[in-house]
Amino acid sequence: MSTLVVVSMLIIAFLAGVEGILDEWGFHQPLVACTLVGIATGHIAAGVLLGGSLQLIALGWMNIGAAVSPDAALASVVAAYLVCGPAHVSTAMGIAIAVPVAVCGQIFTKLVRILVVKLVHVADHQVARGNLNNVSWLHLTSLALQGLRVAVPMGAVMLIPTQLIHTGLDAIPAVITNGLAVAAGFIVVVGYAMLINMMASKALWPFFFIGFALAAVKALNMVALGVIGVCLAIIYIQLSPQHHDNGTGGGSASDPLDEELDDLDRELEDL
């Protein structure tokens, strides 16, 4: 591996770690992280494919309130490095490895989140002295810590000789690797169920079954199904009496409202 590849791998890992806490640009999402690793190592197709598979596993992973989900950032970069890097592990093995690595990453981010409490206390003192710029730096320091908590383990994995990776992975009993493969599959289904759980209400179940029935029509690709879904939503909201009963906010409220709905339509069309 050339120096350029190593450096870009570390940058990607750092970015993924940063995004693992920020949840903004999406560099920690498997689709993006694995694709970037694929580009860096020159095995784009393998990276994209692995990213797609891992994204399905991570579909329901979200940080809500104080709950921390399994870490997609470390899982994505490590698995993608093993699959796209010099070790050329199989995609199935990469997916299986991603699951325990995500749990490790979850522990790392929790540790950093505890560590940052100290920095916040320092920030308290700095504010009391009126050093506003130092507050900004402390904030960015904790961001760097979150980046390093992925970049350092990634660097450690890259130090392992290819031969040793193969010996190590071969030494894992089939029970564990198969079990992890099943676990990965199971997590996808549980993730779906949790997402449905968040969205479902009695009135909305018919939409699930319309989608279910249309899924059998193989000629309809995701673009077509997306258009159908968005149109169904718009039609339902226009017709639903639930949204017309309490329209007593006055005439002024309806203008920004329609505008916002149009915005939503446009945003959804982007999908």
Alpha carbon of 213 to those of 209, 220, 222: distances in Å? 6, 12, 14
Does residue 176 bind another protein (CB under 8 A)? yes
Q: How far is the CB of 179 from another protein (least distance, A)?
A: 3
Interface with another protein (CB under 8 A), residue from 92, 143, 158, 169? 143
Residue type, 211: G
Does residue 1 bind another protein (CB under 8 A)? no
Does residue 199 bind another protein (CB under 8 A)? yes
Interface with another protein (CB under 8 A), residue from 88, 139, 168, 262? 139
Interface with another protein (CB under 8 A), residue from 168, 172, 205, 239? 205
Site for another protein in 99-128 (CB under 8 A): 99-100, 102-103, 113-114, 116-117, 119-120, 123-124, 127-128
Q: In whole angstroms, what is the distance from residue 74 CA to residue 91 CA?
A: 16
Could you tell me if 114 and 146 are in contact, meaning their C-beta atoms sit under 8 angstroms apart?
no
Does residue 4 bind another protein (CB under 8 A)? no
Site for another protein in 67-96 (CB under 8 A): 70
Q: How far is the CB of 42 from another protein (least distance, A)?
A: 14
Piece of the chain touching another protein by CB under 8 A; list 81-89, 153-161, 162-170, 239-247: 239-247
Contact track, another protein, 242-261, x by CB under 8 A: xx--xx-x---x--xx--xx
Q: How far is the CB of 257 from another protein (least distance, A)?
A: 5
Does residue 200 bind another protein (CB under 8 A)? yes
Residue 107 in tokens: 């522990």
Q: Taking Cα atoms as reference points, which of 116, 146, 191 lies closest to residue 17?
A: 146
Does residue 172 bind another protein (CB under 8 A)? no
Could you tell me if 103 and 183 are in contact, meaning their C-beta atoms sit under 8 angstroms apart?
no
Q: How far is the CB of 73 from another protein (least distance, A)?
A: 13
